[in-house]
Chains A and B, each alone.
Chain A
Amino acid sequence: MISEVTDNIFSLKQILSTYCLHVYKELGESLKVLQSNQDDHSKKKRFLEVLVTIRENFVRLFVLSKWAKNADDIYKLIKLFAHLRGLIFEIGGVAHGMKFMGLSLIDAKLPNPDLRTAIEVVLKGRPQLKTYGFLRSKKLSSVLILKTIKEVDVILASRISMARDLPFLLRNYKIANGRITFHVSNFFETSLSIGDENENQLYMVYFHFNFGSLDNKLMTMTTHLDESTQNLLFKKANRALRVDFVPVEQTNEHDLETNAPRHRSLTESLQRLCRLLCKFSVGYKLYLLYRQLVNLKVNIWKSDLSPIYYPDKNKIVLTYWNQRNLRKPTIEISVNDNDTLSFDWFKGGVLQKTDGIKLADKAGTISMENLLMQITYKHVKQIIDHIVLQFDELLLDRSKVITYYTNDSIVLSLTPTKSTIYSIDPLSGLGYFTNPSSNKMVEIEDLINIDPQSTTRNLLRIKLETQLYELSYTMNSTGWISNDIVTLSTTEMKRLSINTKLFNLKNSSFNDSSLLLYKLNFYKRKQWPGGWFLIVGVNGFSSKIQWWLSYIKSVMGQWSIQWFEEIHVSVSDYDYSTLLDLSNMTTEKLASNLLMEELRNNYDAKVFVVDNKDHDRVLLSLSSEIKKLLPAKGPMLVFDNYSLTAIPSCESTILIFLDVSTADVLKLFVFGKLTNLPSHRMFESLTENYRTANFATFPSKGDCLFFRTYQEISFPVHSSSLMSTNLLGDSLHLIHQFTEMINLLSLTDQQAAIKALDVTLAKVIFEVGNEVYGKEHVSFVREGDSVSLILSKTSPHRFCLPQMESMIQNRTKALPLSSKINHLINYMQVTFSLVNFMNHLEKDLPGEVESHLQWTRFMYDINWFSLIYWSNAFQKPGKNQNSKLKRKVTLNIQIKNWTTVPTLVKTFINVNKEDLDSRSLESLEKIFKGENENFNSKVKGYKPTFLNVGIACSINSAHHILQELHHHIISELSPPNIS
């Protein structure tokens, strides 16, 4: 019979009724709202919403009513479903019941249990029989105990004696106190005993290790296990010892037949036990070593050490020097087949020999710290040896750079006076310098540690940098100014002919790698002109330094060496005094070089520098008084006078002395000897006049005179290039002035007609002429470089003054002034009579003629005079008799064949060709042809030469012939009535 289901079932009537009531209530409330004073729109909206909701729900009810047609059938199914669910529950109950039925059936096969005992067992864990505690247990007597122990000892002895193949480690045993105690030194001690005399099984009853950790060392001592570990060990040991019981008779028979070990199972069990305990002990040892390493890591080693313990592999892998940037060296501590500990040392992945290094000492004590110290010390030593070997391979004499300080450190010689000790910290493996003296060393120390492979190169770099630093420091303190802007390309560097023999290198070729350890520094003095540098070549391989004086110029953005000279400094050490001397030496060289270049380029002179040792030889002939006036030391230059500017009267050798001992000033002395001096009385006053601070003369033996100029040039000398200096200009100018004056005075010696009246620095006055022609005074006034000419008021040459001045000033400039003056004075002498005639021409004209005839003199140049005549006293032929005809005659006088001898100088006199062509001067033509007898007779004594177009004659007689021609022309041009 299926029961009714009422849960979660409602009747349709109930649903409809409830909802209709709900709707009625909703409508009532809505109608109340409709009656209120609210906005119609909102009221309509709300009412509509209510209506829609109601309608929707009635549609749902309509659907429900449609479904309700099948409701009865579904209801039956619901009831059926509930019934089936009930059956499932029943079936579960039946299954459960069957399980208990199974148990009941088992019980049915067993005898009836003692329920009370069973309950006791359940409650108390063990049965407590009624008889429990009825009989008091007897106290075991000592005799019994001893007897039992003795019996156990006997049993144990008999059993162990029958186990012939005892493990080697377990052969040291002792049977006493009812137990057999195995002592394995450095491993463990354990005691076994029996449980039953009929049982072949042994049980572990005691265990301790024969080693332990004390003061972070693994040493021989007794270490007990904690209780839980011991229980676990006993459990495992007893499992290893477990054997099947083998009767004695059977084993004996077996023994007789096969001669196999009796109690084979006991032997095996002991072997198993031995293996277990050995493995356990050595594992514990390894663990203790790991603990040691962890302690080390916590203390001094910190991050330099990283031990990793692999319990499954029985191995400790230990890496040290973790901060070092190389493959980390490792130490592997592992367990051998014979359960002993050993270690392997790997460096760069390669197994290393560990000669002499033992894991344990003689007493069996293992100290990981000790082992690490030994290995790291050996490692450090290997690295140091490797560095020394690299130096040996690189350098000719390694001991000049590095030497052993101790086995694990080296002394690095930085400069001749300074060294440092390089070593490697055994804890971190990092290289360090003892007391690093500069930041650069600390910086390079870091570089070494970043890349240990480059230790050798970086050590040499430290040497280089320290040398550079020391040098820079000393150079700066001695007034040298460092210049960091100049850098030379490799090609330019190689031009310097770097002396690689100084490098102490085995392979002396200057390759790019050695170039990295070579550095050029550039220094200059404050007073040096731009572009001049002292180049200092410092290398990292030795303490030897190379010096150059050079002139460097930037060409197209590249620094290029224009000139250089190596300076050999005898002292390799660069101390204060050496560098000061170097300053003077290089400044001297620089100045002498500038002078030499100037002489060579500006004057094309032959010049050379006299070595210091040859100074005395050169100055041998000079008296000590004169030597005092010259600088005691400093460079001396010798140059050839005739290759230079040919100082007149001067000997061929001229000396130049330089003195740079005063800061910022270059003192320049030019020294020479004058010969062929004039004997004029004015000479002494001339030398006195010229004696100034910059110029002095000193009489010498014979007819000679020494002169010395002194010039101070302040540094720096400004020069845009090597060749544009003009240091000697002033001195040479002074010498020239002086020698010119001497030469002018010499003129008086050469010609009697010239007489020096006054000779001073600014002015020279000569008296020119003789008693026959007359005398005139000429003054040469010097104003700077120009010379002007002043003639006396009575001088006939006054009208030639402009031409004469231009002759002095414009004539070939290369000629010395004295030559020009000499020439001029000669000219004045030779032309005196001619010029005098020209000056006196006008006096001969009569008054009537002067109104019709005019003439003038004209001078084209110093050798060409003209006399131009013109007349308007003639009437033109033809119709117009009143018009006058102008007539002009130009008489040219040209001086030819110029020599200093007056009689040889010729004069050519002619008339312009166009004047002759006018046919009005036929008489002149006849004169020129020598056909005018009258004229010929007048000039016969002056030896004229008639040349058809003119007349040639000596200049001394020219004025006579001109006189005749003048008269002739005047008469020709005068109006006929007058003539």
Chain B
Amino acid sequence: MNLLSIPMTSMSAPATTLDQVENELSQLIETLIHLGVQVHDYAGTAESQLGLSNNINKVVEHLQKLQNTDLNIPIPVDVVNYIEDGRNPDIYTREFVEVVRKLNQFLRGKQLGFKYAQSTLGQKIVNEFPELKDEVENIKKRTFIETVPMGTNSS
């Protein structure tokens, strides 16, 4: 008996949602459990052969469905590595959010610092080189950034 006689690529399937994929995956896992039990208890009888072939076919069907999913959800490699290492991917999520938040705050501070530096430097240049006053004002105008009060998140 050729269980894999149907080429997977010839199969066509409608667009799937994430829930369907989850459902397929859970069924597939369950089928694999049944298959494992059958293989373990395989006695070589016609019934057990039939049951085994049915389950293998089920697995192939599930594989076919999963292969035909159309979910372009971006998955970072780090998350895959997390899962592969047996770690909770939600931890990755939390840590990543935390990093981004800190980086944002850091840049916010830098931004304010440059703003004050710009103001001071402009003033000094004007004092030292009065002829450059217009240029300085022009730059100030062009690069004006509305300051946000300290303590509020810019994002």
Chain A, 4-43, CB within 8 A of any chain B CB = 8-13, 15-17, 20-21, 23-24, 27-28, 31, 40
Chain A positions within 8 Å of B63 at CB level: 20, 23-24
Please tell me which one of the listed residues A23, A31, A67 contacts residue B89 in the complex, with CB atoms under 8 A apart.
A67
| CA gap between A85 and B103 in the complex, in Å | 8
B33 near A13 (CB under 8 angstroms)? no
B75 near A10 (CB under 8 angstroms)? yes
A13 near B72 (CB under 8 angstroms)? yes
Name the distance in Å between A524's Cβ and chain B's nearest Cβ: 102
- Whether A13 touches B70, Cβ cut-off 8 Å, given contacts A40-B44, A62-B26, A67-B90, is yes
Of A9, A20, A62, the most chain B CB neighbours within 10 A belong to A20
A84 near B36 (CB under 8 angstroms)? no
Number of A-B contacts (CB under 8 A): 152
Chain B positions within 8 Å of A48 at CB level: 36, 39-40
Chain B positions within 8 Å of A44 at CB level: 39-40, 42
> Which chain B residue lies CB-closest to A5?
B74
> Which chain B residue lies CB-closest to A52?
B36
- Whether A64 touches B114, Cβ cut-off 8 Å, given contacts A16-B21, A81-B100, is no
Chain A positions within 8 Å of B97 at CB level: 77
B39 near A47 (CB under 8 angstroms)? yes
Please tell me which one of the listed residues B22, B64, B74 contacts residue A65 in the complex, with CB atoms under 8 A apart.
B22
A51 near B32 (CB under 8 angstroms)? yes
B71 near A12 (CB under 8 angstroms)? yes
Please tell me which one of the listed residues A58, A67, A84, A88 contacts residue B79 in the complex, with CB atoms under 8 A apart.
A67
Q: Is the interface of A mostly helix, strand, loop or mixed?
A: helix
Of the listed stretches A68-76, A259-267, A559-567, A958-966, chain B binds: A68-76
Encode contact with B along A78-92: 1 for CB under 8 Å, 0 otherwise.
101100110110010
Chain A positions within 8 Å of B22 at CB level: 62, 65-66
Chain A positions within 8 Å of B77 at CB level: 8-10
Chain B positions within 8 Å of A62 at CB level: 22, 25-26, 29
Chain A positions within 8 Å of B39 at CB level: 44, 47-48, 51
Q: Is the interface of B mostly helix, strand, loop or mixed?
A: helix
Name the distance in Å between B151's Cβ and chain A's nearest Cβ: 20
Whether a CB of chain B sits under 8 angstroms from the CB of A55 is yes
Whether a CB of chain A sits under 8 angstroms from the CB of B126 is no
Chain B positions within 8 Å of A87 at CB level: 107
Name the distance in Å between B15's Cβ and chain A's nearest Cβ: 11
Chain A positions within 8 Å of B3 at CB level: 31
B66 near A16 (CB under 8 angstroms)? yes
| CA gap between A28 and B56 in the complex, in Å | 11
Whether a CB of chain B sits under 8 angstroms from the CB of A60 is yes
Chain A positions within 8 Å of B121 at CB level: 98
Name the distance in Å between A416's Cβ and chain B's nearest Cβ: 105
A20 near B66 (CB under 8 angstroms)? yes
- Which interface class (under 10, 10 to 19, 20 to 34, 35 or more) fits B? 35 or more
B67 near A11 (CB under 8 angstroms)? no
> Which chain A residue lies CB-closest to B103?
A84
Please tell me which one of the listed residues B18, B64, B74, B107 contacts residue A69 in the complex, with CB atoms under 8 A apart.
B18
Encode contact with B along A446-485: 1 for CB under 8 Å, 0 otherwise.
0000000000000000000000000000000000000000
- Whether A13 touches B71, Cβ cut-off 8 Å, given contacts A28-B4, A67-B89, A74-B76, is yes
Chain A positions within 8 Å of B107 at CB level: 84, 87-88, 91
Please tell me which one of the listed residues A54, A59, A68, A77 contacts residue B71 in the complex, with CB atoms under 8 A apart.
A68
Whether a CB of chain B sits under 8 angstroms from the CB of A360 is no
Name the distance in Å between A86's Cβ and chain B's nearest Cβ: 10
Chain B, 35-70, CB within 8 A of any chain A CB = 35-36, 39-40, 42, 44, 56, 59-60, 63-64, 66-67, 69-70
Please tell me which one of the listed residues A24, A75, A81 contacts residue B103 in the complex, with CB atoms under 8 A apart.
A81
B32 near A55 (CB under 8 angstroms)? yes
A9 near B71 (CB under 8 angstroms)? no
Encode contact with B along A482-525: 1 for CB under 8 Å, 0 otherwise.
00000000000000000000000000000000000000000000
Whether a CB of chain A sits under 8 angstroms from the CB of B134 is no
| CA gap between A31 and B52 in the complex, in Å | 11
Chain A positions within 8 Å of B75 at CB level: 9-12, 15, 64, 68, 71
| CA gap between A65 and B64 in the complex, in Å | 17
Chain B positions within 8 Å of A814 at CB level: none
| CA gap between A85 and B107 in the complex, in Å | 9
Whether a CB of chain B sits under 8 angstroms from the CB of A61 is yes
Chain A, 84-115, CB within 8 A of any chain B CB = 84-85, 87-88, 91, 94, 98, 105, 108
Chain B positions within 8 Å of A12 at CB level: 21, 69, 71-73, 75
Whether a CB of chain A sits under 8 angstroms from the CB of B110 is yes
Could you tell me how many residues of chain A have their Cβ less than 8 Å away from some Cβ of chain B? Answer: 54
> Which chain A residue lies CB-closest to B97?
A77
- Whether A61 touches B74, Cβ cut-off 8 Å, given contacts A20-B67, A91-B114, is no
Whether a CB of chain A sits under 8 angstroms from the CB of B139 is no
Whether a CB of chain A sits under 8 angstroms from the CB of B150 is no
B83 near A63 (CB under 8 angstroms)? yes
Whether a CB of chain A sits under 8 angstroms from the CB of B78 is yes
Chain B positions within 8 Å of A27 at CB level: 4, 56, 59-60
B129 near A108 (CB under 8 angstroms)? yes
- Whether A9 touches B74, Cβ cut-off 8 Å, given contacts A65-B18, A65-B21, is yes
Chain A positions within 8 Å of B153 at CB level: none
Please tell me which one of the listed residues B35, B44, B76, B84 contacts residue A9 in the complex, with CB atoms under 8 A apart.
B76
Name the distance in Å between A13's Cβ and chain B's nearest Cβ: 5
- Whether A17 touches B83, Cβ cut-off 8 Å, given contacts A68-B18, A84-B104, is no
Chain A positions within 8 Å of B71 at CB level: 11-13, 16, 68
B73 near A71 (CB under 8 angstroms)? yes
Of B4, B33, B40, B100, the most chain A CB neighbours within 10 A belong to B100
Chain B positions within 8 Å of A9 at CB level: 74-77
> Which chain A residue lies CB-closest to B22?
A65
> Which chain B residue lies CB-closest to A66?
B22
Chain B positions within 8 Å of A91 at CB level: 107, 110, 114
Chain B, 75-110, CB within 8 A of any chain A CB = 75-80, 83-84, 89-90, 93, 96-97, 99-100, 103-104, 106-107, 110
B76 near A8 (CB under 8 angstroms)? yes
| CA gap between A51 and B40 in the complex, in Å | 11
A58 near B70 (CB under 8 angstroms)? no
- Whether A70 touches B25, Cβ cut-off 8 Å, given contacts A8-B76, A24-B60, is no
Chain B positions within 8 Å of A66 at CB level: 22
A58 near B25 (CB under 8 angstroms)? yes
> Which chain A residue lies CB-closest to B4?
A28
Encode contact with A along B118-155: 1 for CB under 8 Å, 0 otherwise.
00010001001100000000000000000000000001
> Which chain B residue lies CB-closest to A81?
B100
Chain A positions within 8 Å of B18 at CB level: 65, 68-69
> Which chain A residue lies CB-closest to B84?
A60
Chain A positions within 8 Å of B8 at CB level: 20-21, 24
B103 near A78 (CB under 8 angstroms)? no
| CA gap between A72 and B72 in the complex, in Å | 10
Please tell me which one of the listed residues B28, B36, B73 contacts residue A11 in the complex, with CB atoms under 8 A apart.
B73
| CA gap between A651 and B76 in the complex, in Å | 151
| CA gap between A81 and B74 in the complex, in Å | 16
Name the distance in Å between A100's Cβ and chain B's nearest Cβ: 13
Please tell me which one of the listed residues B29, B66, B89 contacts residue A64 in the complex, with CB atoms under 8 A apart.
B89
B74 near A75 (CB under 8 angstroms)? yes
Chain A positions within 8 Å of B26 at CB level: 62
B74 near A71 (CB under 8 angstroms)? yes
| CA gap between A52 and B35 in the complex, in Å | 10
Please tell me which one of the listed residues A51, A77, A78 contacts residue B36 in the complex, with CB atoms under 8 A apart.
A51
Name the distance in Å between B133's Cβ and chain A's nearest Cβ: 15
Q: Other CB < 8 Å A-B pairs besides A10-B77, A48-B40, 18 of them?
A: A11-B72, A13-B71, A16-B21, A16-B66, A20-B63, A20-B67, A27-B59, A27-B60, A51-B32, A55-B33, A67-B83, A72-B73, A77-B97, A78-B96, A80-B104, A84-B104, A91-B110, A108-B129
7 contacts between A and B (CB under 8 A): A12-B71, A21-B8, A58-B28, A64-B80, A67-B83, A72-B73, A98-B121
* Closest 10 pairs between A and B when the two form their complex, measured CB to CB: A20-B67, A55-B32, A12-B73, A8-B77, A67-B89, A62-B25, A20-B63, A75-B74, A84-B103, A11-B72
